[in-house]
Amino acid sequence: MALRTSAFPNWFVAAIHAIGWVLIVPCFWFLDRFIASWKSTTLEKSLPLEVFFSLILFFILFLIACPFAFIGFLLWAPLQACRRPFSYHRETKIPEKESNFKLTEKTSFGFATANLCLLPDSVARFNNLGHTQRRATAIGQRIAHGVHRPQIRIIVESPSSCGTLSPSVSILSEGNSPTTPLNSNQNSNQQDRPRALLSRGHSSDDNIIWEMSSLFPTNLDVICLEEVFDKRAAQKLITALKPVFGHILYDVGVYACQPPCKCSTFKFFNSGLFVASRFPVLQAQFHFFPNSRGEDALAAKGLLATKLLIGKNERQKDVVGFFNCTHLHAPEGEGVIRCIQLDMVTKWIADFQAANTVPDEDVVFDVLCGDFNFDNCSPDDTLEQNHSLFEMYIDPCRAGPGKEKPWVSGTLLEQPTLYEEDVNSPDSLQRTLGDEKLRKQYISPPVPAAGQPLVYPENGQPWIGRRIDYILYRQSSLSKHYKTEIEEVHFITHLAGLIDHIPVSVRLGIKKDVEDTENIEE
């Protein structure tokens, strides 16, 4: 049974909520512009006189809009108690990606995660990112362009060849290459065009193909995006992505007093989670973290657990997958809070799967991804690195607690240098990730333990930097005759100049154990 699209139980409640929000928006927008007027990014230069008059104008408009916002708040806030913590967009104009799942056929699924920093414009500027609405449009178009472009297979004939590759960077002629709108922060000669592979390899230890890719991989099936806090930005993403991903969960999270009537935990922002899937969503559930502190407590960060319908097997039983995404507590030095949140994540996932698993269906993947806000190289993150979550789920980039695999890249960019030539375009950032000396300048370094000097990297190990964006998977929760393995891992530079993270994707191979299947059928 498909989910209803509206977050509210009926049209009347939804209409009252919409009226309240319409009254709030002008006041919110004037306040946003007031703050943005004096907070500029490193790319911008504002004249003092222009800043002064903008501040005066938007402050006056903010005061005029306040009474209307108060009335809107009185309508909006109480309705949060009956609001489902997400909305669901189902695109009916494209065919469902749902098909027969053949028992003897090996298939694969593509997953990606990216933190977009689509906060209100004034808040995003504290991360050196402005123009939230323009960035949202460009991000959506770039993702759709990368995922939906033609896939080309390249045969590599060399002693180190790993055979037939399906690169995420296709070699296309300019005449046939779809163009992506320019980032307003880039020059015309940095237009986003596909180029030949530059940074790609094959890890013989675990048989994984890895790549620093200047485009999103083709045929991604599910994408989790974090920090999509701005409602208008979310709509722009939906507009761009819905021709490719027919099922989208957005506006995920809770608002106002949570739990109700406890004003000390007022939520001004939702969770920022946004999931786009090619597969129908059968079930979804959201939990927010009750232990957030400081500025993180203003947002309803938490876990979104989903159950997706992949198709039917040869016995005409449902084939499903579990996809979970989260965004953990951000401030450094607060690993205890993150560990408690990881405990909640594992419990909530277990409860969701126990309540939504049907005995005669096939479960073919169980994925957990998102921005964990800790890495696998910082001494300050030792608690999180040793959490039991990593005994349940497999991290394909991790060699062990505190140790990354040598081909891995950090995913957190240094914010003051986002617009420098070495990192402000997909191609330049791709080259930078392949150069250890440049990588040190632009990827955030590990965080030392309190009161101790940092020794990094260890002798003979490459400099990787902070990888805080994860895609994990596990085998134990799948139907027993399915086996999984990671085929490819991509660190994606396609959104360079638009966000302060490096998106990550994996391709997860699924294989049916034919002998087990035959025994079951007998």
Active-site positions? 501
Cα distance between residue 402 and residue 169, in whole Å: 31
Cα distance between residue 109 and residue 442, in whole Å: 31
List all residues 6 or more positions away from 259 whose beta carbon is below 8 Å from its beta carbon: 265
Cα distance between residue 491 and residue 440, in whole Å: 16
The single-letter DSSP state of residue 264 is G
Dihedral (C-alpha) 311, 313, 317, 322: value to the nearest 10 degrees? Answer: -50
Secondary element (H or E) of residue 108 = strand 107-118
The single-letter DSSP state of residue 247 is E
Residue by residue, DSSP assigns 440-468 as: HHHBPPPPPPTTS----S-TTPPP-----
List all residues 6 or more positions away from 31 whose beta carbon is below 8 Å from its beta carbon: 58, 62, 122
Q: Are 396 and 402 in contact (CB under 8 A)?
A: no
Which token pair is 150?
């033609």
Nearest to 396 by CA among 328, 345, 470, 321: 470
Q: Are 31 and 65 in contact (CB under 8 A)?
A: no
Question: Under the phi-then-psi rule, with left for phi > 0, alpha for psi from -120 to 50, and beta for the rest, what region is 253?
Answer: left
> CA dist 32 to 137, 138, 296, 406, Å?
19, 21, 19, 43
At position 492, the amino acid (one-letter code) is I
